[in-house]
Amino acid sequence: MFGNLCSTVKTISLGILCFPGNQVYSQTWDGVGTLYKISSGGSLFNQLIIAPNGNYYVSFYDSGLQKGSVKKYDGTSWSDVGGVSGVGAQYGNYSSLSGDAQGNLYFTNKNSASLEVRKFDGSEWSQLPNAETTNIFAQSSAVSPTSNIPYVFSGASSGSVKKFSNGTWTNVGATGFTGSTNTSSPKIIINNGQIYVSHNGSGLKVHTIAENAAPTDAWTLL
């Protein structure tokens, strides 16, 4: 239904012309949906995900709204998730987006000296407790495909991964494994019970730990 979707909100369609002994590939880009531009202004911190339920979502900081924005593509057009044109606090940036198999979305963003997290439950947005209360910048989020528990990875405490369970955020593994609070280009994925995080700190590094690790367990550098 969706074809191939890429981060610039375009699809690519391939046509092949065959000649004796040769193949010529023709590529054209098409706009996805009825609008060429889906933000009201410029955009930053763009995120594109295919949720486990198969839906396509994008999140970004919309300079026209001066807020974060989350939109869904239904196969024909884009719409604001939850009917809300702006998500999060004003100037909330350094955002990320993740989703679970139950249709929940988690939108995270930096605001002042905190890491805010908001959940969309299929009908409306609600704000969860802040995952961090220190001044962080880039961060990343993911949801466990087995437990549907959300996780966030940031440079807080020189490297921190937390999960939200029973109404509170708790550390997964020991903090400090990145060696710096200035963690750039962080990414987190969860697969087969393992958490994998990558970050750029004096070179690209990847660490892993079990998703049910205790707050004192050590991370393994791959």
What count of other Cβ atoms lies within 10 Å of the Cβ of residue 136?
Answer: 23
pTM (2 decimals)? Answer: 0.84
Q: At 16, phi and psi to the nearest 5?
A: -120, 125
Q: Which residues contact 86 (CB under 8 A, 6 or more apart)?
A: 62, 65, 66, 67, 68, 69
Please answer whether residues 61 and 52 qualify as being in contact, where contact means their C-beta atoms are separated by less than 8 angstroms: no
What is the DSSP secondary structure assignment for residue 76, as one 8-state letter?
S
Residues found in the chain: 222
Nearest Cα to Cα of residue 112 among 139, 86, 91: 91
Taken in order of first residue, the domains within the chain and their CATH numbers are 34-221 (2.120.10.10)
Q: Please list the pLDDT of the chain residue by residue as tens digits (222 residues).
A: 444 443 344 432 333 344 455 555 667 887 777 666 788 888 888 999 988 878 899 999 888 888 889 999 988 888 999 998 888 776 667 889 999 988 999 999 988 788 999 999 999 999 999 999 988 888 999 999 999 999 999 999 999 999 999 999 999 999 999 988 777 789 999 999 999 999 987 789 999 999 999 999 999 999
Q: Cα angle at 153 between 193 and 195, to 5 degrees?
A: 15
